[in-house]
Amino acid sequence: MLDMAILGLLAETPLHGYELRKRVVSLLGGFRALSYGSLYPALRRMREQGWITVQEPVGTSAALPADAPALTGKRGKVVYALTADGKEHFQELLGEAGPEAWEDERFDVRFAFFAQTDAELRLHILEGRRRRVEQRRDGLRAALARTRQRVDHYTLELQQHGLDSVDREVRWLSELIDSERVGQQHDTSRTTPTGGHSS
């Protein structure tokens, strides 16, 4: 999840950790908070894997050996950039078609990078996501039908609001799927429709 967000953002432009964190949060609409305690270890791990590199830290003139962290002395901004391996790995992640792609935690991140995703795969993921949400909707409907009258006002209100939310999400996904299909009709190739859908 976090890996994909980081790689995707660094694919646009190199960034330092602090800025990267703000962009990850903003990318997902502020729903997940993301602390430094999870960001920095992730960056370290990805550096060790060779997916990202550290560019010349601003504020230190000495050339750093790759794994000597600037523990003492003047620290500057540590700017991270994608390596060739990192780009490749990001493309691999974008190409994964497994059913995890439409689970709650992953879908938003995948969707955020849809512009770089194959058109056919986009449709596949949107349809999988819709099935997933429809399934939840049906479960919720059944639960409501079962418990209606037997539970208190607040439980009912909570379940009803939940049902309304998933209903809305299904409609949203259906609209997206329709507009994807229209996009594919007169364009059988797998490039992105860069056009500017107004409203």
The residues binding DNA (CB under 7 A) are 1-2, 16-19, 32-38, 40-44, 59, 69-70, 74-79, 105
Q: Which does 74 bind (CB under 5 to 8 A by kind): DNA, its own copies, none?
A: DNA
| 136 near its own copies, judged by CB under 8 A | yes
> Helix, strand, coil % (nearest 5) of the chain?
65, 5, 30
Nearer to its own copies, 65 or 196 (CB): 196
Options 120, 157, 178, 187; binder of its own copies; rule CB under 8 A: 157
In this structure, the chain runs to a length of 199
**Quick one: CA dihedral 166, 172, 173, 175, positive or negative?**
positive
Tokens at 198, concatenated: 């107004």
Q: What whole-number distance in Å separates Cα of residue 144 and Cα of residue 157?
A: 10
Backbone angles phi, psi at 52, to 5 degrees: -135, 160
Q: Which span sits near its own copies by CB under 8 A: 27-35, 61-69, 75-83, 87-95?
A: 27-35
Does residue 182 touch its own copies according to CB under 8 A? no
CA atoms within a 13 Å half-sphere pointing along the CA-CB vector of 110: 26
Question: Is the CB of 30 or the CB of 196 nearer to DNA?
Answer: 30
Which residues are near its own copies by CB under 8 A? 26-27, 29-31, 104, 108, 111-115, 136, 139-140, 143, 147, 152-155, 157-159, 161-165, 168, 172, 176, 196-197
